[in-house]
């Protein structure tokens, strides 16, 4: 098993032993060790494939971070940000309400908004047909609104016609029409 000799003359592989020794390996990769300690790690890594691979992968990460350039903020970013905030504040109340309802951070109730809107629309469509079904409304308290049901009307007319057709001819004047 490959080993590294620490300041206390112990010969231990930092990856396999874990604990403080592993932290020393990370410190090495993060370039925090002094020259003497870094030299000891390098000597060990030269003969230990596992530590060597670990150190190499950490170096790649550092290299990538060194090469990364953050995009620069445009010179008028602040000016445009404040103009946008001002514009939002001047917007009509319903626009502000809508913006808050549809774009407010991580509020838990946000998914409810579109569902509520659809439900309200559905309720509106459901209620509306009933509102237009009146023919005439009572104009005084003496008036009573009465429904004219098609089937009741049909039965009433049928019963009268039935009587007219079935009653004896000579017994009444109903048939002399």
Q: Which of 34, 68, 134, 141 binds another protein (CB under 8 A)?
A: 134
CA dist., res. 123 & res. 172, Å (int): 57
Nearer to another protein, 68 or 109 (CB): 109
Cβ neighbors of 24 (< 8 A, separation 6 or more) are 6, 14, 33, 37, 41
Return the residue of 72, 76, 127, 141 that touches another protein, per CB under 8 A: 127
Distance CA 134, CA 123 (A): 20
Consecutive H or E run containing 140: none
Maximum alpha-carbon separation in the chain: 138
121 touches another protein by CB under 8 A: no
Interhelix angle for 77-90 vs 93-102, to 10°? Answer: 120
Examine residue 73 and tell whether it contacts another protein (CB under 8 A).
no
Q: Which is nearer to another protein, 39 or 172 (CB)?
A: 172
Computed on alpha carbons and rounded to an integer, the radius of gyration of the chain in Å comes to: 45
The binder of another protein chosen from 47, 57, 60, 167 (CB under 8 A): 167
Out of 70, 71, 73, 177, name the contact with another protein by CB under 8 A: 177
Binding residues for another protein (CB under 8 A): 96-97, 100-101, 104, 107, 109, 112-113, 116, 119-120, 123, 126-127, 129-131, 133-136, 138-139, 142-150, 152-175, 177
């Amino acid at each position: 098993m490959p080993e590294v000799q620490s300041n206390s003359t112990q010969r231990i592989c930092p990856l396999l032993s874990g604990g403080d020794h592993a932290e020393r390996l990370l410190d090495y990769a993060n370039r925090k060790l002094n020259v003497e300690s870094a030299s000891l790690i390098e000597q060990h890594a030269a003969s230990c494939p596992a530590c060597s691979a670990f150190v190499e992968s950490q170096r790649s990460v550092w290299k990538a971070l060194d090469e990364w350039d953050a995009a620069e903020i445009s010179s008028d970013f602040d000016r445009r940000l404040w103009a946008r905030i001002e514009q939002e504040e001047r917007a009509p109340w319903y626009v502000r309400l809508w913006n808050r309802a549809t774009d407010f951070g991580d509020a838990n109730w946000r998914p409810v908004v579109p569902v509520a809107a659809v439900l309200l629309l559905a309720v509106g469509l459901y209620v509306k047909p009933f509102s237009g079904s009146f023919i005439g409304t009572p104009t005084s308290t003496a008036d009573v609104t009465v429904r004219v049901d098609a089937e009741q009307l049909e039965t009433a007319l049928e019963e009268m016609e039935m009587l007219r057709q079935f009653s004896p001819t000579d017994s009444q004047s109903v048939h002399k029409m």
